[in-house]
Amino acid sequence: MQMKLDGTTLILIQMTNSQFTIIKSWNKMRWNAKLKQLEGTADLELLDKLAGISGLTSSVAARRRELRQVLDAVDRERVNPEPKPFYKYPVKLPLYAHQVRGANMALLEFGWIQAGDAP
């Protein structure tokens, strides 16, 4: 199987019939009959499943590591008992702890703050 990462889209070609059947059963990718390839969003769940059935190319493995770092940073922030704001949020009243956590997780998830840069 050959794979290519085009932005956030994962493209798979030259799969065996068993690989195609397994991947298609996940309902995470769609078949492009014109180009004879599977296409889907390269999210962490899909990349983890693909890693289980075949090796990942270096660019796809790097994308998987990036997504895993973001998920780990969001999970750390979710259970942070005393969250500190990553940014001076433009609100008049002080935020509650759960609001700070939510805003911080949004910054991480949308990529406005890198997972490695988060305090």
Total number of domains in the chain: 2
The answer on 100 and 49 residing in a single domain is no
Q: Is residue 64 part of a domain?
A: no
Q: Is residue 51 domain-shared with residue 83, that is, in the same domain?
A: no
Q: Whole-prediction pTM value?
A: 0.84
Asked whether 62 and 109 are in contact (CB, 8 A), the reply is no
How many whole angstroms separate alpha carbon 62 and alpha carbon 75?
20
Q: Is residue 80 located within the same domain as residue 116?
A: yes
Domain that holds residue 96: 69-119
pLDDT tens digits, residue range 6-65? 999 999 999 999 999 999 999 999 999 999 999 999 999 999 999 999 889 999 999 999
Are residues 110 and 80 located together in one domain of the fold? yes
Tokens, residue 94: 């002080």
Do 25 and 33 touch, CB atoms closer than 8 A?
no
Phi then psi for residue 87, to 5 deg, are -150, 155
Q: Judge if 4 and 51 occupy the same domain.
A: yes
Residue 47: inside a domain: yes
